[in-house]
Amino acid sequence: MAIVNITPDSFSDGGRFFSPEAAVRHGLDLLDQGAGILDLGAESTRPGAVPVTAGEEQARLLPVLEALHRERPTAVLSVDTYHASTAEYALAGGAEILNDVSGLLWDSAMPAVVAQHRPGLVLMHTRGTPQTWSTLPALPHSEVAALVGRDLRLRLAAAEHAGVPRENIALDPGFGFGKRGAENYALLAGLGELRAFRLPIVAGISRKGFLAQTVDAALPGHARSAVAATRGYPTLAANVAAILAGAHLLRVHDAAAAAEAAAVADALLAEL
């Protein structure tokens, strides 16, 4: 699942693909690199991000979605949104998957939209909001995975109660979304606990800040790679770890590198 950020302020590549033309070119490049899904997002949810209106989100998103659907009508398109009105427009414009980082919590109309149209749904776990993450109390590492599992169970039950078919749902533990620093490693180490749901598991670890913190603490500046600023190598390591721990789908910025790393992880899993 390759990321197309149509935003000026995303933490990794904000502004690089903000124009519709640049976003469409980038999406097509990612498909050519082997991405199985394109995940289009028009509102940053980085820590401290300022929310945008649904109207602004749609003005950024819909021209790109429609162009990609026109250029590659068989491509699987996902939309990263928690706004029900954006979801409605996106599904009408060719999206097949909704990726709701709030787990259907931030817009009370979203469950009904998903139940009516029955797209694929990535149901993600988050604590708080981007504006409150820096103030959240620390989590004991031994409790992180269990907390995420309990909360996802509640969100899954709410989705099913609203009429969302269980077979349409994938679960995302929400790396970085209300988990800080090494709490994310505790979550990664306990990712296998989500297998009990018997649903696809999505891992969105690509270029997250906790990876950079690890490298900064472990290596002096002169020992870091030339691509350290992109967090590319730590991302590959984390993606392989996620696959070995049970992830079925990787949400990534670099589709080609992720596909190569996944091939090696899959080959190892086949022998276990």
Catalytic residues: 208, 251
CA separation for the pair 39, 120 (Å, rounded): 12
CA separation for the pair 107, 194 (Å, rounded): 25
CA separation for the pair 103, 156 (Å, rounded): 8
Show the tokens assigned to 77. Answer: 């398109």
φ/ψ region of 174 (left if φ > 0, alpha if ψ in -120 to 50, else beta) reads left
Query: One-letter amino acid identity for 119?
Result: P
Which residues make beta-bridge pairs with 77? 38
> 246: closest CA among 190, 178, 169?
190
With contact defined as beta carbons under 8 Å apart, do 167 and 160 qualify? Answer: no
Residue 252 in 3-state DSSP?
A: strand
With contact defined as beta carbons under 8 Å apart, do 124 and 172 qualify? Answer: yes
CA separation for the pair 64, 66 (Å, rounded): 5
Show the tokens assigned to 201. Answer: 């598991």
The angle at the Cα of 224, spanning 220 to 226, to the nearest 5 degrees, equals 150
CA separation for the pair 253, 140 (Å, rounded): 30
Show the tokens assigned to 124. Answer: 């993600």
Cα torsion angle, 47, 53, 54, 56, sign: negative
